[in-house]
């Protein structure tokens, strides 16, 4: 059996990340200038923490697909999921009536097995997806040699909404974070912005924000390992007065313009 190692840290949060970039209307891995959301809504904290020694279903996560058996267990603070050939396991939970455009962070920490694929015929890798109340989707799929980052409703190849790039996801654990803004989302890997996609098309709306994390064994059995999944708010970036997610001279100019005695 192949072994898929996924210490997952999934965090979805009201985002105020310091992302500096050139804005583009197409999918890009260049540095990105983005517009922060309104941060008007708060997300409840959703968490799976394997260090507690219990399964996701015991911590409030639902099965969206698949079943657990006796081989699925938590050992040493790691969740081991044995997935049979031709099946997959999907955990999911609702985070309330939320809109990606308000700015959130959704992250997973994962190492996938050798031979896993993230592109066409996705199998044996790790995936993380958030679909908001309106039907907007952002997702990242990680394989041994590449990742896919997409805002397409069905994660299909699209020049504007989907990126596939080479990346070694099997040699070590990495943290993959989807950080959304008013006009798109950035993929960070270990805190470094790597790719940008604009807002994509609409999936069927379900009226709530749905978080999903999963592993797939389309062609062969895999053993995936996860450590943590979190969905939560993040404090806004202190000093970011113009809401562009960067604290710089533009914010200082706003401060100086208002300097003095308030009338």
Give tens-digit pLDDT for 20-40: 333 333 454 444 444 444 444
Q: Report pLDDT for 220.
A: 58
With 80 as the cut, is the pLDDT of residue 198 above it? yes
| Per-residue pLDDT at 185 | 92
Asked if residue 263 belongs to a domain, the reply is: no
Looking up residue 111, the CATH number of its domain turns out to be 2.60.120.200
Bigger pLDDT: 189 vs 153? 189
Q: Specify if 246 maps to a domain.
A: yes
Domain count, the chain: 1
| Dihedral angle, C-alpha 147, 4, 213, 245, nearest 10 ° | -50
**Is 262 part of a structural domain of the chain?**
no
pLDDT, tens digit (0-9, with 9 covering 90-100), for 92-144: 888 888 888 888 888 888 778 788 888 777 777 788 999 998 899 999 999 88
Report the pLDDT averaged over residues 41-51: 73
Residue 225 has pLDDT above 60, yes or no: yes
Higher pLDDT, 129 or 71: 129
Domain membership of residue 98 as a residue range:
2-257
């Amino acid at each position: 059996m192949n072994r898929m190692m996924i210490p997952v840290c999934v965090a979805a949060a009201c985002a105020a990340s310091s992302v500096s970039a050139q804005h583009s209307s197409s999918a890009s891995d260049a540095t990105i200038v983005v517009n922060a959301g309104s941060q008007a809504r708060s997300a409840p904290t959703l968490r799976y923490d394997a260090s507690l020694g219990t399964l996701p279903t015991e911590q409030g996560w639902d099965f969206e697909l698949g079943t657990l058996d006796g081989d699925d267990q938590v050992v040493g603070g790691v969740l081991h999921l044995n997935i049979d050939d031709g099946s997959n396991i999907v955990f999911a939970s609702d985070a309330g009536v939320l809109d990606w455009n308000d700015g959130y962070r959704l992250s997973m920490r994962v190492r996938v097995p050798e031979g896993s694929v993230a592109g066409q015929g996705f199998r044996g890798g790790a995936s993380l997806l958030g679909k908001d109340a309106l039907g907007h989707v952002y997702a990242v799929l990680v394989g041994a040699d590449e990742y896919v980052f997409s805002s397409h409703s069905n994660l299909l190849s699209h020049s504007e909404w989907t990126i596939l790039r080479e990346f070694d996801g099997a040699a070590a654990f990495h943290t993959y974070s989807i950080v959304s803004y008013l006009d798109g989302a950035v993929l960070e890997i270990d805190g470094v912005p790597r790719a940008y996609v604009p807002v994509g098309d609409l999936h069927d709306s379900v009226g709530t924000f749905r978080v999903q994390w999963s592993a797939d064994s389309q062609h062969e059995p895999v053993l995936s390992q996860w450590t943590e999944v979190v969905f939560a708010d993040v404090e806004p970036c202190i000093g970011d007065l113009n809401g562009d997610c960067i604290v710089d001279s533009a914010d200082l100019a706003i401060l100086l313009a208002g300097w003095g005695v308030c009338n």
